[in-house]
Structure 1
Amino acid sequence: MEVESPPTTTSLIQAGEYLIVQKIDGEQSRIVRFTPKQKILIEKLKFTSDSAFGKPHGLFEVSNNQCFPMSVDRLIEELQLQEAPVATTLADSEVVLSEIVESSDLRVVIAPSALKLEPEQKRQKLEMDAVLEMKKQGVSGQEVVAKLVEGSASFQTRTVFSQSKYIKRKAKKHSDRYIFLLNLATQISYRVLILRPTIRLLAKAYYLKDPDRLAMLRADQLALILQMAGVHHGKNVLVFEQTLGLITSAVMERLGGKGACVHFHRGAVAQSIPCVHSMNYNESTLSTFLPVRIKCLLTGKQLPYENNRKACNEEEENDDKTKEGKCEENVEDQDLEALARRNDRLDRERRGLEMTFEGNAHALIIGSRTVDPINVLELVYPTLAPSASIVIYSPHQNTLISCYDWLSKRQAINLVLTDQMCRVMQVLPDRTHPLMAQHVAGGHVLSGIKVVDQ
């Protein structure tokens, strides 16, 4: 038997990393950067981040603004109690009925058929207040059911099946196990999942929160984009997207530290890519991220920054929005850090431009929301290597039809316009059907292959 090894330092929650917080039975997920002395709020449930540091990722219980990891033994015990049988058959109901008859002075007469009562006739003589008072006095659930049967005006007129059903329902409601399950349901509402971010969880969280910002991109369509582009370890991929960095982050994860993800962006620095920051990538994976300014792509060469201070300020503002906080001003340190960041950006941009114009790109991925993809194709398509994959995503079908015509005129082959449907199925005992309340909006994917006319 293998002994499970204790969690390593990297598998524990640490300050400064991004995590996904989801309330059990909740609808939304939050991407939060855990910092010391931070208050985490998720659907009216609040706890401090310090109580989670040093704990493994997983299920936590929230109490008094603190979160505590849930033990496996406790979860197994609760699962066993939930699965315990409770008078589910007619024979079980008859046993309960006989026990009630033996433990009380009530004479139960099994009626051959059911009779209708007058609407004004009161069916239950025992008031709810009396039932609550009995429970406060410690009366067992069996005695409470006996009193309810005795106070029911229609019990003797019921059929044997109806009587068994009545007793089974009341026994389930007033049994100690039922009360335990109610308390358990209340406890579950104070539990949260604190998970390490993944591409699927990020796609789901942003899609449920604001699908418009994500261009209606679902996780299944993102998987289709990566498949049609043939993204794998060591590949060079050109990316222009408006999906909060989700496509770029997915490509970087697929590359696995080898290859290049050339990210074309507007402005001095790459902005609005929270999905890249939220994945907590290591240095090896981040080395494949090569941001390139659109302005440099238009001119065909690397341009110096017109205003270094302005560029640094833009990056600092972007970092502030991502980290949700500002550091104290230190002019000398800021200048050194800004200079180091600028040099790193210039080096990455130089490598990205060389790869683009030398024709070493193996794939082009465009995730458009407001920009016409044809404008990007006119700039990048001539620089693609022969047999390079082309994948374009857009929430608007007409946009992709125009791209289809544009690529057809340039002898691109295997052009396929895909509209994917994804529905969540609800699996229940003896029945399976689509979940009634779910998001079904999505976009369209156009894929093809570039060929060179000899």
Structure 2
Amino acid sequence: MCDSETDVITIGKYVIVKKLNYKKIYKVTANGSLTLGKDLVDMGEIIGKRFWTSFEMIPSKNGKRSFFLKEATETESWNDLLSTLSKGNDNRSIVDDGNSQKLSKEEIVQLQESGKSGKEIVGSLIENNKSFLDRTEYSQEKYLKKKEQKYLRHLTVCKPSISSLHAVYFKLDHNKIGNLRMDALAQLLSYSDVQSNGLYILYSSGSQGLPTAAMLNRIGADTEGYLINLHPGNVPQTTIVHAMNFPKEQSERLVNVNIYSFLRLYYQGESAVLNNILALKKIRDNWTDKIKENVDGTIENSCIDGQILGNKETENKEYLKIVSDTNEISEEQSTIKRKLDEFSSAEVVPSKRPKWLLETQHAVDLVRNSKARGLAIVAKEHPLNIVMALLPFLGASRPFVIYHVYREPLQETYMVLKQRQNVINLRLFSNFLRSYQVLPDRTHPDILTSDTGGYLLTGYLVE
């Protein structure tokens, strides 16, 4: 039996499927499947099992490269494949003529379809390789690792964590998380002084919710800490937040709010916001009527003697004209129209307020009751106006930290904040983290690494 329900894999949770060095995020569903390279794996077997359980991929009879999972009590050890083999002194006598492997491609496929384990397949490849015994020990290990990645049929279902989720996204495309390296994320948490209690404010854009998930994870479950996540646009980026499988109690202490709605409600009040919504809704209704009149008029013009023209070519022209007339709405009108779609189904009256307005009011109440203990900004845009708007919500003698992938916006922000008397201890810096490969007789820095770690601007707000 499991000690906690959080250790059990259930429907709706996110897991990380690990196969050697390859990792992939998967949301558990009742009859779900996962694509690993060219393999299609039925993931129904993992439901009800514990995290960190290993499974063996069993070939399915339904089709090629299709597998189902079976819980494995132990994984294969491939080290004994090389223990009894002789090693060569060097590789100078090996000629890569493409004829070293005696097994044909069809024979290797037959071995896979016959249900042979990965270890047995690689053992057959080694036995039928004419030049394998002439390779050096290092070359044999390299060959074995390459075949292991291709033929290994064991995977492990891991529990998501901030470091593992960051590793998956950073390796996939570090631009999606704002080029935020793990060392920069750790310093972001440290300089914003995130603890288990108090109120913290975060502005995040273009990072898939990585800073939000990291700060909420640092606050912890069953605590008194709150996090206000300010974001541009109508929908916050919370992909990584959901992948962390936070309990309901902890997720409810995360308040996602649009930054413009938050500032407007704080300074102008709820009545001003509601009046603004009503005005925008009236404008939208006027546009809808004009579009409808335009479309109706175009259809009437396409009628002769009360009947629609039956000519297909003419109908296409009239349809294109309708679409063209409809698309003449200006960019500004379209933007506001999309803004209004969020609350079009709800009556904008105090008795039935939209959900986003309730969230915004909750955030305003939090900052009115107490100042924030820390402020963090992770922005794709220029951060100067953002930090100037959010500094009044930060408590005295409390830290703030700003992250940006480029140095120049932070330099301009540094010069403006330096002139303020209530901001002290400003520091603008960048780090370069480089990992090392540590192996017997061959320790060296990793050659393939990313140097896009971004820059940090930190400081303190005083009275």
Interval of TM-score (by shorter of Structure 1 and Structure 2): 0.5 to 0.7
- State yes or no: 1:252 paired with 2:251: no
CA contact (8 A) 1:51 1:66 kept: no
> Match of 1:288, as an amino acid?
R
Whole-Å separation in 2 of the counterparts to 1:286 and 1:207: 24
- State yes or no: 1:17 paired with 2:6: no
Q: Deviations over 1:9-29 (max 9, x none)?
A: 432321111122233243xx3
**Structure 2: gaps (5+ residues):** 61-65, 105-122, 282-336
The alpha-carbon distance between structure 1 residues 285 and 128, as it changes in their structure 2 partners (threshold 3 A), is: closer
Q: Deviations over 1:121-168 (max 9, x none)?
A: xx9xxx979999xxxxxxxx9xx99xx9xxxxxxxxxxxxxxxxx996
Q: Once the 2 structures are TM-superposed, how far is the Cα of residue 267 of structure 1 from its aligned partner?
A: 3.5
Q: Once the 2 structures are TM-superposed, how far is the Cα of residue 72 of structure 1 from its aligned partner?
A: 4.8
- State yes or no: 1:226 paired with 2:216: no
Q: Deviations over 1:75-131 (max 9, x none)?
A: 4xx2663684655799xxxxxxxxxxxxxxxxxxxxxxxxxx9xxxxx9xxx97999
Match of 2:244 among 250, 262, 279: 279
Whole-Å separation in 2 of the counterparts to 1:20 and 1:383: 38
The alpha-carbon distance between structure 1 residues 80 and 266, as it changes in their structure 2 partners (threshold 3 A), is: closer
* Partner in structure 2 of residue 406 of structure 1: 416
The alpha-carbon distance between structure 1 residues 6 and 292, as it changes in their structure 2 partners (threshold 3 A), is: closer
Whole-Å separation in 1 of the counterparts to 2:88 and 2:447: 30
CA contact (8 A) 1:60 1:67 kept: no
Whole-Å separation in 1 of the counterparts to 2:233 and 2:102: 72
Q: Once the 2 structures are TM-superposed, how far is the Cα of residue 217 of structure 1 from its aligned partner?
A: 0.4
Whole-Å separation in 1 of the counterparts to 2:408 and 2:142: 56
Q: Once the 2 structures are TM-superposed, how far is the Cα of residue 43 of structure 1 from its aligned partner?
A: 2.0
Whole-Å separation in 2 of the counterparts to 1:227 and 1:32: 30
CA contact (8 A) 1:21 1:42 kept: no
CA contact (8 A) 1:356 1:383 kept: yes
> Match of 1:267, as an amino acid?
G
The alpha-carbon distance between structure 1 residues 38 and 413, as it changes in their structure 2 partners (threshold 3 A), is: same
% identity of equivalent residues:
23
Whole-Å separation in 2 of the counterparts to 1:379 and 1:385: 14
Q: Once the 2 structures are TM-superposed, how far is the Cα of residue 244 of structure 1 from its aligned partner?
A: 1.3
Match of 1:265 among 231, 247, 269: 231
Whole-Å separation in 1 of the counterparts to 2:143 and 2:233: 60
CA contact (8 A) 2:399 2:459 kept: yes
Whole-Å separation in 2 of the counterparts to 1:264 and 1:11: 31
Whole-Å separation in 1 of the counterparts to 2:17 and 2:364: 38
Match of 1:209 among 153, 160, 172: 172
> Match of 1:39, as an amino acid?
S
* Partner in structure 1 of residue 391 of structure 2: 381
Match of 1:236 among 181, 199, 206: 199
Q: Deviations over 1:10-64 (max 9, x none)?
A: 32321111122233243xx332222122221122222122122222223333233
- State yes or no: 1:362 paired with 2:373: yes
* Partner in structure 2 of residue 290 of structure 1: 255
CA contact (8 A) 1:57 1:196 kept: yes
The alpha-carbon distance between structure 1 residues 415 and 264, as it changes in their structure 2 partners (threshold 3 A), is: same
- State yes or no: 1:197 paired with 2:197: no
3-state SS in 1 of match to 2:6: helix
Q: Deviations over 1:164-196 (max 9, x none)?
A: xx99648999x9x999999866542x3333222
> Match of 1:81, as an amino acid?
D
3-state SS in 2 of match to 1:235: strand
> Match of 2:399, as an amino acid?
S
3-state SS in 2 of match to 1:213: helix
3-state SS in 2 of match to 1:352: helix
TM superposition score normalised by structure 1: 0.67
> Match of 1:378, as an amino acid?
M
> Match of 1:62, as an amino acid?
M
The alpha-carbon distance between structure 1 residues 182 and 437, as it changes in their structure 2 partners (threshold 3 A), is: closer
Match of 2:449 among 438, 441, 446: 438
3-state SS in 2 of match to 1:298: helix
3-state SS in 1 of match to 2:174: coil
Whole-Å separation in 2 of the counterparts to 1:310 and 1:129: 61
Map 1:28-427 onto structure 2 (within 5 A): 29-58=23-52, 59-63=54-58, 64=60, 65-68=66-69, 71-75=72-76, 78=77, 81=80, 84=83, 86-87=85-86, 169=134, 187-188=151-152, 190-242=153-205, 243-257=207-221, 258-268=224-234, 270-299=235-264, 300=267, 301-302=269-270, 303-304=273-274, 345-358=356-369, 360-369=371-380, 371-411=381-421, 412-427=423-438
Whole-Å separation in 2 of the counterparts to 1:236 and 1:364: 9
Count matched residues.
357
> Match of 1:252, as an amino acid?
L
The alpha-carbon distance between structure 1 residues 386 and 179, as it changes in their structure 2 partners (threshold 3 A), is: closer
Whole-Å separation in 2 of the counterparts to 1:357 and 1:72: 56
3-state SS in 1 of match to 2:444: strand
> Match of 1:16, as an amino acid?
G
CA contact (8 A) 2:191 2:399 kept: yes
Whole-Å separation in 2 of the counterparts to 1:264 and 1:363: 14
Q: Once the 2 structures are TM-superposed, how far is the Cα of residue 376 of structure 1 from its aligned partner?
A: 0.9
Q: Once the 2 structures are TM-superposed, how far is the Cα of residue 435 of structure 1 from its aligned partner?
A: 1.6
Whole-Å separation in 2 of the counterparts to 1:128 and 1:417: 57
CA contact (8 A) 2:41 2:68 kept: yes
The alpha-carbon distance between structure 1 residues 88 and 233, as it changes in their structure 2 partners (threshold 3 A), is: same
Whole-Å separation in 2 of the counterparts to 1:289 and 1:391: 19
Larger radius of gyration: 1
> Match of 2:209, as an amino acid?
G
Whole-Å separation in 2 of the counterparts to 1:48 and 1:71: 15
3-state SS in 2 of match to 1:441: coil
